[in-house]
Structure 1
């Protein structure tokens, strides 16, 4: 893997064919210095935007890209730092670009995302034959396929040249003891080589099970600097096997992350994910 800084002011949505993950943001939900933990997967002519928080439209604009330029989205869960920019995507798509972006989403999560988060700001903009807008009026829906025989609920989608497996995680509420009792949230396995946990509590089984099944080269993992709560505590992650820590880049961190740089090195992690950089996998 090679870390590459953005060479031009404009973010490219295509490349020469390698798998690239661009960190549009790396910050936690309430960061003021950083963008939110949203990433763009690019491979050849294909791209997938993973999460689109409240800061994402502005972050893209600063890189010369409009929200309507993004043609495929995948959302890991419904906190505002991951979905807060979707209303702009829907309304700009329908009334400005006049086209529907793709969204990779299970039927279960579509209902949750629409009914509890997106419907109020989008559904009531039009009435046709007594009906307001529905999810499919605003999105081109792509359904992933459920995979049998996995240690936890896992779905798969092939979008162009990019393969993504969507893996259920234990993020919230704090009281949930497993992914099965957690509200909907997923991490991603990208091209069977890069594990992106999304937001998750400390979950050694997630890492162990999928490293046994796949040759994972790099792990992008959620982190926080205090115990309990709904994210993975740094000191808990420090209990993982050294080989796992060595390939783990920490993301979704708070504004005071520099205070923990030395501790991250002491624990043997690869480091913090760098906002505004590509992570290239040849």
Structure 2
């Protein structure tokens, strides 16, 4: 994996065919200095934005990218730092860009996302055929196919030459002991090479199974500085096998991340993922 800082140039939504990840932000939900932990996945002419918090549309424009030009959107779960910018994308797409971007969406999450989060700000802007707007008026819905042979009944979808698999995670509520008890939340397996955790409690069994099946090149994992609550902690992640830990890049971290640099190096993690930096995979 190679790192390329964006520097003073427009962010490109295309690559020469290789897989590239671009963190628009790496910050935890309450970070004041970092962007929302929302990432672009780029391969050839395919562009996929994983999550879209309220800070992400203006950050994309700072990179000289109109969010409505992104080909695909994927939501891992319904916390505001992951969906708070979707309403802007929806309204700009319909009323300014006059296009319908693609939203990757599993059927069992559709009603939760629309009725409990997005409907109030989007449905009542106009009446079409004697009805208010629906989610499908804003998005072209792309539905993953179920893969019962993979961990947690994964959903799979090909986007051009890019393959993604949605893997259920145990993020919330805090009291949920297993992913079956938890509200909808997913991590993303990218081209069977990279695992992007989304938000999740510490789940070493899932990481071990995915690594055994796919021999992962890199894991981008959310990490908090204390143990407990809704996220994996650095202390918990430090208990992973050394070989696995050396491929873990930490994301979704707090404003005080730099205070933990020495400990992260001592524990043998790959490091902290950096905002506004291309991560290229040959």
In the alignment of these two chains, the number of paired residues is: 282
Aligned to 2:231: 231
Per-residue CA deviations over 1:65-120 (Å, capped at 9, x if unaligned) read 11211121011000000000000111011101111000011111111100100000
Corresponding residue number in structure 1 for 2:191: 191
Q: 1:221 Cα deviation (Å)?
A: 0.5
Q: For residues 224-277 of structure 1, what are the alpha-carbon distances to aligned partners after superposition, in whole Å with 9 as ceiling and x for unaligned?
A: 001101000111110000001101000000000111101111111000001110
Aligned to 1:45: 45
User: Retained in 2: the 8 A contact 1:27–1:35?
Assistant: yes
Q: Is the contact made by 2:51 and 2:76 (CA closer than 8 Å) also made in structure 1?
A: yes
1:12-161 to structure 2, matched below 5 A, reads 12-161=12-161
SS of match in other structure, 1:91 = helix
Unpaired stretches in structure 2, ≥5 consecutive residues: none
Any conservation in 1 of the 2:38–2:49 contact (CA below 8 Å)? yes
Q: Which runs of 5+ in 1 are unaligned?
A: none
> Which residue in 1 is equivalent to 2:10?
10
Contact 2:151 2:167 (8 Å CA) reproduced? no
TM-score, length of structure 1 as denominator length: 0.98
Distance 1:75 1:230 in 2: 17
The aligned counterpart of 1:244 is 244
Please give the secondary structure, in 2, of the residue aligned with 1:232: coil
* Residues 67, 88 of structure 1: 8 Å contact kept: no
Instruction: Give the superposition deviation at 1:151.
Output: 2.9
SS of aligned partner of 1:40:
strand
CA contact (8 A) 2:164 2:189 kept: yes
RMSD: 0.8
Matched with 1:176 is: 176
2:203 equivalent in structure 1 = 203
- Give SS of 2:99's match: coil
User: 1:126: Cα distance to partner?
Assistant: 0.8
Contact residue 38 and residue 50 of structure 2 kept, 8 A? yes
Answer whether contact 1:103 1:141 (CA < 8 A) is retained.
Answer: yes
Q: Which moved more, 1:63-72 or 1:19-28?
A: 63-72
Please give the secondary structure, in 1, of the residue aligned with 2:112. helix
Moved more, 244-253 or 152-161: 152-161
Q: Contact conserved, 1:24 with 1:40, CA < 8 A, in 2?
A: yes
Q: Which runs of 4+ in 1 moved over 3 A?
A: none
Q: Does 1:219 align with 2:219?
A: yes
